[in-house]
Amino acid sequence: MTNRYGLNENERGFLEVVAEGKPVEPRDERLKRRDVGKTYTNRPDMARSNIVDRKVQPLPERIDSLLSDVELLSRAGFFSQDVREEAGHEVRRYSKIYGVEDLDEIPFIRERSRLSGEETVPERFGQRLGHFATAFPLVPAVEPFGTGDSDAVKLDLVVGFINAVFGVNVSRSSAISDLQNLSDLIDAEMEAQERFDEMIADGFVPESISERHEAIEEHLEQVLENNGIDPVDPVVRDVISALGGSSELYGKVAESSGSSAPEEWDPSDAVSEQEILEIVEANRLVEKQHLREQLKCDLDELPGTTFSDLPATEVIIHADADVKTVEELAESVTEGYPGVNRRAEVLPAVGVHGKYLSGEHHSTLGTRDRPAVFQLDSSPADVRDWTLQLTQYGSALNHLLPRSTAGALRPLSVVPDDVISTALDEL
């Protein structure tokens, strides 16, 4: 099924012939073999003109609409399992989107027991996105700078993709250092694969390794639940990370297993309850989870906390660790936020947000029940001279908030360790 913008069968057949690179003449035999309509066979010049008018010209708006629709539907929760079932969306309907005929045809993720070179569903989907991005006409924007700039365009595409998928903030100027976290992730994955392969070479059956790995995770969950830690899942991930990640977990499986049969092996031999609780305490994992919850609530609520049409998030985004007057911060907001254009309109709103986000009561916004985002000095008589400085909690929010309306919220891992440590003390 096609929509009014999508290519129909006649257009597809015509374009497949054009794509061969040879001139297309009237009554071309190649068109006849594809059984395209008479217009395409007898007047290929008119067919080409029609495709330009009806399909190429609307393409920018069509793509923008699709991207915007998907982003909004996702934020509104319309891709949840419940909604998909309500719409009758069976898994097989998504197969072609990922570039496969059947999702069972290739593994969805790279399982440890599979060859490392085997393609996965996300890889195939990533290739489709890559082909789409490089096929789209970005070239006119860089032609004046010469053909060599095509590599720069490709690099920017990769940087943007990484920003969205990993929730990081990679910049062109510091790409090497900013990509270090991603490099560490890849290194850890490769190390885990090597450890897995070594265990297979030592005689372990792949299924038994995976089962014991899962048993350790279940053991971690049980220990945390028994000690009243809730929610469990994010803390389990933090414990695994503190243990050294999947690679070290496979190592612990190997060291504790020896030649024991699966029914004789106890996951507590790999990591004891005492060791787990020591990790939780030493790394302040329960407090970190509480911090995550506080930040998540603010990230959900503050974009909708507005005064004079100015969201509270814009004040946080344009603040930094230095002390700023309300007037200075209003100037930064005016320059950086497209929703406003006059500092005189922004200044009172910045003062209101500064007061509210510092924990003081405001007649319209009320009183915050979460940690202060700003330290406020409101002793000067003129609101322009009030001073604001981000707290460590506020600095964490500043790192997590996107720098554009289309940006994805970033994971807690992007916040510097010293900021997290001090923010924990402020809770």
Q: What is the pLDDT of residues 113-150, one digit of tens each?
A: 444 556 777 888 888 888 787 776 654 444 443 444 56
Radius of gyration for the chain, computed over Cα atoms and rounded to the nearest angstrom: 28
Q: Which residue has the higher pLDDT, 24 or 225?
A: 225
What is the rounded average pLDDT of the residues 297-317? 87
181 falls within a domain = no
Backbone angles phi, psi at 126, to 5 degrees: -60, -40
At residue 407 the predicted structure's pLDDT band, cuts being 50, 70 and 90, is very low
Q: Which residue has the higher pLDDT, 152 or 41?
A: 41
Asked if pLDDT for residue 284 goes beyond 70, the answer is yes
pLDDT score of 274: 92
Residues 6 or more apart in contact with residue 171 via CB below 8 angstroms: 159, 178
Q: What is the percent of the chain with per-residue pLDDT over 90, rounded to a whole number?
A: 11
252 and 328 housed in the same domain? no
pLDDT score of 356: 94
pLDDT score of 120: 77
Tell me if 108 sits within 8 A of 120, measured CB to CB. Answer: yes
421 and 296 housed in the same domain? yes
Tell me if 156 sits within 8 A of 172, measured CB to CB. Answer: yes
Q: Which residue has the higher pLDDT, 152 or 52?
A: 52
38 and 104 housed in the same domain? no
176 falls within a domain = no
Report how far residue 252's alpha carbon sits from residue 214's, in angstroms, rounded to the nearest whole number.
Answer: 13
Of the three residues 171, 186, 210, the one that is the final residue of a domain is: 171
Tell me if 299 sits within 8 A of 316, measured CB to CB. Answer: no
301 and 278 housed in the same domain? no
**For 227-261, what is each residue's pLDDT tens digit?**
988 878 878 888 887 887 766 776 777 666 655 55
403 and 385 housed in the same domain? yes
Provide the CA 162 distance to its chain's centre, in angstroms.
8
* 195-204, 262-271, 288-297: least confident range: 195-204
pLDDT score of 261: 56
2 falls within a domain = no
pLDDT score of 118: 66
Report how far residue 304's alpha carbon sits from residue 311's, in angstroms, rounded to the nearest whole number.
Answer: 6
Q: 43-52 long-range contacts, Cβ below 8 Å, gap at least 24?
A: 44/14, 47/11, 47/14, 48/18, 51/11, 51/14, 51/15
Residues 6 or more apart in contact with residue 103 via CB below 8 angstroms: 91, 92, 94, 95, 121
Q: What tokens does 84 get?
A: 């998909």
Residues 6 or more apart in contact with residue 184 via CB below 8 angstroms: none
pLDDT score of 64: 81
391 falls within a domain = yes
Report how far residue 294's alpha carbon sits from residue 393's, in angstroms, rounded to the nearest whole number.
Answer: 10
Amino acid identity, residue 293?
E
Report how far residue 152's alpha carbon sits from residue 268's, in angstroms, rounded to the nearest whole number.
Answer: 51
420 and 295 housed in the same domain? yes
314 and 406 housed in the same domain? yes
258 and 278 housed in the same domain? yes
369 and 320 housed in the same domain? yes
Asked if pLDDT for residue 348 goes beyond 80, the answer is yes
Tell me if 224 sits within 8 A of 276, measured CB to CB. Answer: yes
Helices 150-166 + 121-135 axis angle, to 10: 140
Of the three residues 156, 171, 186, the one that is the final residue of a domain is: 171
DSSP state of 52: I
Q: Is 50 exposed, middle or buried (0-12, 13-18, 19+ CB in 10 A)?
A: middle
Report how far residue 271's alpha carbon sits from residue 240's, in angstroms, rounded to the nearest whole number.
Answer: 10
**For 51-79, what is each residue's pLDDT tens digit?**
888 888 888 788 888 888 887 777 777 77
Asked if pLDDT for residue 101 goes beyond 60, the answer is yes
Q: What tokens does 225 get?
A: 């639940």
Which domain, by its residues, includes 210? 198-283
186 falls within a domain = no
330 falls within a domain = yes
Report how far residue 29's alpha carbon sits from residue 23's, in angstroms, rounded to the nearest whole number.
Answer: 12
Q: Which residue has the higher pLDDT, 180 or 346?
A: 346
pTM of the model: 0.53
Q: Which residue has the higher pLDDT, 154 or 411?
A: 154
203 and 270 housed in the same domain? yes
180 falls within a domain = no
404 and 279 housed in the same domain? no
329 and 223 housed in the same domain? no
Backbone angles phi, psi at 225, to 5 degrees: -60, -45
What is the rounded average pLDDT of the residues 35-40? 78
193 falls within a domain = no
Task: Report the number of distinct structural domains present in the chain.
Answer: 4
